[in-house]
Chains A and B, each alone.
Chain A
């Protein structure tokens, strides 16, 4: 693989996938006023953890994710991923999966997954092999030749997960990836994601509005409040893995969800 100028060399080692957010703030300057989207956010995420961000609408979850992805720069504080700042997007360190599947409709599933590799001028055959592997990992073997409009919502989201995984970045960022899916598909996709996560050992930062989804998926849940966006609680979910459907009705599950809900209601 050719090294790219704008990509920090990947250091394989124990800190691969570590995220350190220290005193980060984000102020949007608009025509009428300055919007403080985030204020003094600090968060330390250990490699391989599944961290879920929740909070009322407009509390800055997407903004935080954009900064982790290098798509936007914070106005104060520092962000380190693999112990290095992220001044611009670096697909070797961070893969981003967006809410709307955001697949390119003119490309097939395979070509969509290959897209990040094509940008690096990786030979076509290598590219195809990696795309096929990634599609297999998300359970879409044999669907590579289809175009997005020939796939269901859940399948499309699997394709975009495959696209995020294809370069094997240690960190995956997901902004409400399942929000557009129906309840059942959403549950299966959650299980799928946990399976992929367990198989790949990536650090996942996941944003959702569903508290059930948050507790079900997470190692840690980070609760944020709005205006300005701050972290108001940070819970460790000690439920055993693999998570099962039965846990949803359990007492621990309910207690955790209630605690998160009280925070959100207070700050909304």
Chain B
């Protein structure tokens, strides 16, 4: 648990980083055309957020991310569960999954474009593809974190399958699952934005790529800050649920 002093120190570090950024740019130590100052960037960010076009891009990205996530998590969880519970399936599938997981997903992006074209389904497809392996692997780990002793206790008190699922499996797995959810979202977001940057007509990833190509550094940096803040907010949200659900894990 972080005390108040610790939190203040963290805020101070962030403020200091922004201050260094501002100074580097203002004094010209770093060329301001390459690194616009922090204050300029933040002003641009506010200005960008007021544009309908940008808001639309954000909405497009958000919906792609959500759809990919909502599809990938249950599918991955189901497959992961099946693998963990079925000895034969596990022995066949597990090494293959490790192989698949080790491959950088980005090399498949051109294929996704060939199959899905450039658009919503391509982004969702690639987001799904980037996410599902980590979901499968985390679910398998989560199932394996269920203690045999706890299952025996439940059995010795005559628990039904459903009761065992809800009263032993679910609470045992919850902390690991929440963590998995959090990490999957990182993979998912990366996948969708990468797909947008590579080939797209809309979406925040597409905008960031365009700003970069046109050397619009202020907008580019503002976009970076925007995506970073969104990702961190989601991450922290799940993390707070995580700490509440896993207080017993000491």
Contacts and interface: CB of A to CB of B under 8 A. Distances in A.
A105 B159 CA distance: 18
B157 A105 contact: no
A96 B248 contact: no
Given A106-B248, A119-B163, A147-B248, A4 B155 contact: no
Interface in A79-106: 88-91, 94, 96, 98, 100, 102, 104-106
A28 to B, nearest CB: 17
Interface in A1-23: 4, 6-7
B6 to A, nearest CB: 23
Given A104-B168, A106-B171, A115-B167, A89 B150 contact: no
A71 interface: yes
Given A7-B158, A70-B156, 20 more contacts: A4-B158, A69-B156, A71-B156, A89-B155, A89-B157, A98-B153, A102-B147, A104-B153, A104-B168, A104-B171, A105-B248, A106-B171, A106-B172, A106-B248, A116-B158, A119-B154, A119-B158, A119-B159, A119-B163, A149-B248
A247 B153 CA distance: 36
30 contacts: A4-B158, A6-B158, A7-B158, A70-B156, A71-B152, A71-B155, A88-B158, A89-B157, A91-B157, A94-B156, A96-B156, A98-B152, A100-B149, A102-B147, A102-B149, A102-B150, A104-B171, A105-B248, A106-B172, A106-B174, A115-B153, A115-B157, A116-B157, A119-B157, A119-B159, A119-B163, A147-B247, A147-B248, A148-B248, A149-B250
Contacts of B172: 106
A148 B155 CA distance: 20
Size category of the B interface is 20 to 34
A98 B156 CA distance: 10
A89 B156 contact: yes
A249 B153 CA distance: 38
B214 to A, nearest CB: 53
Interface of A: 4, 6-7, 69-71, 88-91, 94, 96, 98, 100, 102, 104-107, 115-116, 118-119, 147-149
A149 B246 CA distance: 12
Contacts of A7: 158
B245 to A, nearest CB: 8
Contacts of B247: 147
Interface string B105-134: 000000000000000000000000000000
A4 to B, nearest CB: 7
B249 interface: yes
Secondary structure call for the A interface: loop
A94 B158 CA distance: 11
Interface in B233-249: 247-249
Contacts of B157: 89, 91, 115-116, 119
B167 to A, nearest CB: 7
A23 B157 CA distance: 27
Contacts of A69: 156
B240 to A, nearest CB: 18
A105 B247 CA distance: 9
Contacts of A6: 158
Closest 5 CB pairs of A and B: A116-B157, A102-B149, A105-B248, A96-B156, A106-B171
A223 to B, nearest CB: 26
A89 B153 CA distance: 10
Contacts of A91: 156-158
Interface string B73-85: 0000000000000
A98 B150 CA distance: 10
B22 to A, nearest CB: 47
Instruction: With a 10 A CB-CB cut-off, give which of A69, A115, A148 has the most chain B CB atoms.
Output: A115
Interface string B20-58: 000000000000000000000000000000000000000
Contacts of B248: 105-106, 147-149
A102 B158 contact: no
Instruction: With a 10 A CB-CB cut-off, give which of B149, B156, B167, B171 has the most chain A CB atoms.
Output: B156
A232 to B, nearest CB: 28
Contacts of B150: 102, 104
Instruction: With a 10 A CB-CB cut-off, give which of B158, B159, B163, B250 has the most chain A CB atoms.
Output: B158
A106 B154 CA distance: 14
A209 to B, nearest CB: 19
A89 B163 CA distance: 15
Nearest to B151: A102
